[in-house]
Amino acid sequence: NMLDVVLDNKLDIDGFGACEGTLACSTCHVILDSENYKTLPEPVEEENDMLDLAYGLTPTSRLACQII
Ligand code: FES
């Protein structure tokens, strides 16, 4: 599940999910491996907008609240 992904990536989860999934923060930023990334639907425009603000954005970054 997504918590495992968070732990696997050793992210700092302080404040994780601050906006409770309303795409108003980027605290739920996670970096997926490419296998997992490929299985997901494309992010919507609002998610991409928030991802642009996420610290350490990567090509396989997503906002976890949108993919759980
Ligand atoms: Fe804020 Fe995901 S919890 S965008």
From the first residue on, what is the mean pLDDT of each consecutive set of 10 residues in the chain (68 residues)? Answer: 57 71 91 92 95 93 89
| 63 Cβ closer than 6 Å to some ligand 1 atom | yes
Alpha helices in the chain (DSSP H): 2-8, 34-38, 45-51
Overall pTM > 0.90: no
Q: Is the ipTM of this complex over 0.90?
A: yes
| 6 Cβ closer than 6 Å to some ligand 1 atom | no
pLDDT at 18: 84
Q: Cβ(57)–Cβ(51) under 8 Å?
A: yes
